[in-house]
Amino acid sequence: MLEKYGHGGDLLTAAELYGGGSGVAFLDFSANINPLGPPPGVLELLRDSLPAITAYPDPGHRRLKSLLAESLGIHGDWITVGNGAAESMALLLLAAAPRRVGVVEPCFSEYRQLSEQFGAEVVSVQGTQEQDYRASVEQIAGLMEQVELLFLGQPNNPNGVQYALDDLRLLAQQAERCGTVLAVDEAFIDFIPEERRQSLLPELGVYRHTVLIRSMTKFFAIPGLRLGYTIAAPELAAAMTGKQVSWSVNGLALLAGEACLRSGRDYEERTRGLIAAERAALRQGLKRLGCEVPPGEANFLLLGLPAPWSAAALQEKLGRSGILVRSCAMYPGLGPGHIRVAVKGREDNARLLRQMEKTLRAGMGEA
Ligand SMILES: Cc1ncc(COP(=O)(O)O)c(C=O)c1O
């Protein structure tokens, strides 16, 4: 199985399964990374900064924190920098020490995995197909009464949809009432144009049980370096920092993060423009092939394959042709025929559509 470690983007496993040496030749739609690559100048800066690895990184992440604070319009006390959003989630779990954690399926598998790794029991509610795999606010609010911490993806992975700001407010109010930490995972929110973004960021001063988790690895295309952060009330932010292993965020990641934040709006706007246009075209193309595609707003699309195709069969056939897609058959709440694909540039998306059409036409898609 390509998702041997639970995630997409595993080029080494792909090479083991489908051949192809080191795996660099795969066209990878299984991880959701900005197709533009890192902002201009970041790779050159990293190359020039290699001698800096002879020094320890700043354990207080001060320069990056102050740039983040400036760009987000908040005080640096609210920010905790992590070795990827994944470490940020772990720090939150360590600081909040919940006995029970709530998740809204289908969702990013690390919510459950990390919670269980840290000894919490995980309880869930499930989204419905009619709501593009969102759960109702009532369901989520009910779940919050039973848990000390709840993870919610905004936009959610793998379906790419947002909850409306009014719904998030109701959930944040419920978090205040129940004393539950509402951990809103905004790992992909930078891909959404500001005017469409549904975020509680400006209201966190009121909702002090709400924490936002952000990733810099996807939007700035640096998943191999690892960089993420959280925005939380200063007491919780300090508790999270208190659980962090010193120097867990490496010096090159800090430098790259600073350069990404300084790279300016042009790269950000180009990314959002490209993703919006290419997602619409890719969605149309996939629907023409008979797939069911909820209208996601992120840089990936969830799709239900036409019967009798299984995710496993299509993934295998595409993998052998050099294209990787993410099976979603293992997500609770989804079925054996669900896959997720990243939105890439025009030519790459066209190659995916061509290869999918050829493969689906040739048949033999049963599990
Ligand atoms: C929804 C979601 N949140 C967080 C992460 C982790 O991001 P990072 O690479 O910053 O650890 C991922 C990675 O795939 C993700 O899909």
Q: How far is the CA of 288 from the centre of ligand 1 (A)?
A: 30
SS3 assignment, position 261: helix
Note the pLDDT tens digit of each residue in 251-262.
Answer: 999 999 999 999
- Ligand 1 centre to CA of 345 (Å) is 21
Using the mean position of ligand 1's atoms as its centre, give its distance from the Cα of residue 303 in Å: 20
> Which of 30, 218, 260 most suits a substitution to test ligand 1, by most atoms within 8 Å of the C-beta?
218
pLDDT digits over 257-278, tens only? 999 999 989 999 999 999 999 9
Average pLDDT over residues 51-62: 97
CA 228 to ligand 1 center in whole angstroms: 9
Cβ atoms of 189 and 157 within 8 Å: the answer is no
User: In this predicted structure, what is the pLDDT of residue 31?
Assistant: 96
pTM attached to this predicted model = 0.96
pLDDT at 367 over 60: no
Q: Which residues contact 9 (CB under 8 A, 6 or more apart)?
A: 28, 30, 31, 33, 223
Does the N-terminal peptide bond of residue 294 adopt cis geometry, omega within 30 degrees of 0?
A: no
Q: How far is the CA of 364 from the centre of ligand 1 (A)?
A: 34
Strands 149-153 and 121-126: unpaired
Query: Rounded to an integer, what distance in angstroms lies between the CA atom of residue 162 and that of residue 154?
Result: 5
Q: For ligand 1, which residues put their CB under 6 angstroms from it? A: 84-86, 108, 153, 157, 185, 187, 215, 217, 223, 228
Mutate which of 30, 112, 157 for ligand 1 pocket (most atoms within 8 A of beta carbon):
157
Distance 40 CA to ligand 1 centre (A): 23
Tokens of 276: 């919006």
Give residue-wise pLDDT tens across range 270-325: 999 999 999 999 999 999 999 999 999 999 999 999 999 999 999 999 999 999 99
Atom of ligand 1 nearest to the CA of 223: 9
pLDDT score for 365: 62
**Extended beta strands in 106-233, E state:** 121-126, 149-153, 181-185, 210-215, 228-231
Per-residue CA distances from 147 to 120, 125, 151 (Å): 10, 12, 10
- In ligand 1, which atom is closest to the CA atom of 227? 10
| Ligand 1, atom nearest to 185 Cα | 3
Quote the ligand 1 centre to 363 CA distance (angstroms): 34
